[in-house]
Amino acid sequence: MENQQGKNKKKLWGGRFSQTTNEMVEKFSASEHFDRRLYSQDILGSQAHARMLARCGVISPEDAERIVSGLQDIKLAIENKSFDWKPELEDVHMNIEKALTDAIGEAGGRLHTARSRNDQVATDLRMFVREQIFLIDRLLAGLQGAFIHQAREHLGLVMPGFTHLQKAQPVLWSHHMLAYFQMFRRDRLRLRDCLGRVNILPLGSAALAGTDFEIDRFMTARELGFDDISANSLDAVSDRDFAIEFVFVLSVIMMHLSRLSEELVIWTSSEFSYVELPDEFCTGSSIMPQKKNPDVPELVRGKTGRVYGHLIGLLTLLKGLPLAYNRDLQEDKEALFDALDTCSACLNITKFLVAGMKPREDRLADDSRTGFLTATDLADYLVKKGVPFRQAHEIVGKAVAKCLASKKELTDLTLSELQSLHPEIDEDVFRVLDVRGSVDSRKCPGGTGTIPVKDQLHEAERWLADFRLT
């Protein structure tokens, strides 16, 4: 009767083991089905390592040439989907190395000189994250461009600004759009900071203690585009801070996308009706024919928790690991990959959603005339007449109470009614109570006035054109 734990298969672990690996263990520990995504980085790293070994006289130039050429053939086979992945070989690294040895013979067995899978996978992962930082940055730039388009297209449009989801003061639509530009600007700056800590080469640290071969780590770093080499081999093979930091940045990006999504869900409701989303980014109801549901923002909002979960998972994964490498670290990749894929998909679709949405100008204009949006302006007006602010605040509060009792807006009050609140009020008060006058009075840098918003827009366009990660 066959052992209930499954048949054993030959595992190529050299001469240390007297028994072959159990099939269940092979399946449980295999990672090639997801870490094959690192094939390109693994091959590039191996080619650079082989050239460096030859330059340092550790292997012959002829062997290095065969290794580099053989690896290039394997890369083409993977990209052509003709490569035979073998789960029993456990991971992307062993699959590629075994295929190389099968193809070029003894020379392939020399590739792993002066390195370990520990520093190999750390190198591959850093190269992968580095590439993805540039991808996410490009997606962020595209989304920023969509907000600039909205700001420029509707420059001058007034809308209610909110605090506590209650009407507060009038602002320009462009000011609101540029607020999101600034959010994603910070995200791009965070990516640049993250890149500096990602771009450190661990290769040459070997398993944990470095290598006794005379190698040139700086040559490998230069060839692979790294800024520097790792300073401590124990730390280098067990460090995943860079992956956690990257997923943290992705989580902040998703938080910003979720805030935007929440506003779009609110703004597209019939209660607000501030924005019309493109039909192609919405769906209907299976039972209610009148519905137009903002599915994309809702899904982005929901997927934010998924990315947060991966961040917590990575932090938890690392929290109990002693130095140096531990097999637990195999669990970093699926979390990283899914967080990346989720965030990049959300950024890409949100760019098109923002670019295609249309503010409902009549509705925004009507809603800006209600809710006492210029109450603060009236208080400021009294202050300029010499009334202490706290006293002015109380006077305007009474004016609002009077309006609520009579179902009026501040702009509906007559001059005599306003003067009954304070004798210093004069006819020029009506310019203050107008929402356009309120907006235009906010001339301080960073404010919602037309002049500072135009300045913000020009600066945003300049920054978008000039910003580079490196």
Active-site residue flag, 416? no
- The 8-class DSSP code of residue 20 comes to P
Q: Two tokens at 275?
A: 């924005």
Look up tokens 């890409």; give the residue: 348
The catalytic position among 33, 285, 406, 458 is: 285
Which phi and psi angles does 370 have, rounded to 5°?
A: -125, 160
Q: One-letter amino acid identity for 290?
A: Q
How far apart are alpha carbons 176 and 150 in whole angstroms?
10
CB atoms within 10 A of CB 359: 19
Q: What's the Cα-to-Cα distance from 201 to each of 10, 117, 249, 413, 458, rounded to whole Å?
A: 34, 14, 21, 71, 39
DSSP H helical segments within 281-407, as ranges?
Answer: 295-319, 332-356, 361-368, 375-384, 389-406
- List 82, 164, 270, 286, catalytic entry: 164
Of 373, 365, 369, 450, which is closest to residue 161 (Cα–Cα)? Answer: 373
Which residue type is seen at 10? K
CA 356 to CA 438: how far, in whole Å?
29
| Nearest by Cα to 355 from 452, 240, 273, 275 | 275
**Spatial distance between the Cα atoms of 322 and 320, rounded to a whole number of angstroms:** 7
Work out the angle at residue 325's Cα, subtended by the Cα atoms of residues 320 and 330, and round it to the nearest 5 degrees.
80
**Region label for 280, one of left (φ > 0), alpha (ψ between -120 and 50) or beta (otherwise):** alpha
3-state secondary structure of 161: strand
Look up 273 and say whether it is catalytic: no
Q: At what angle do helices 450-466 and 117-153 cross, to 10 degrees?
A: 150
Residues tagged active-site: 164, 285
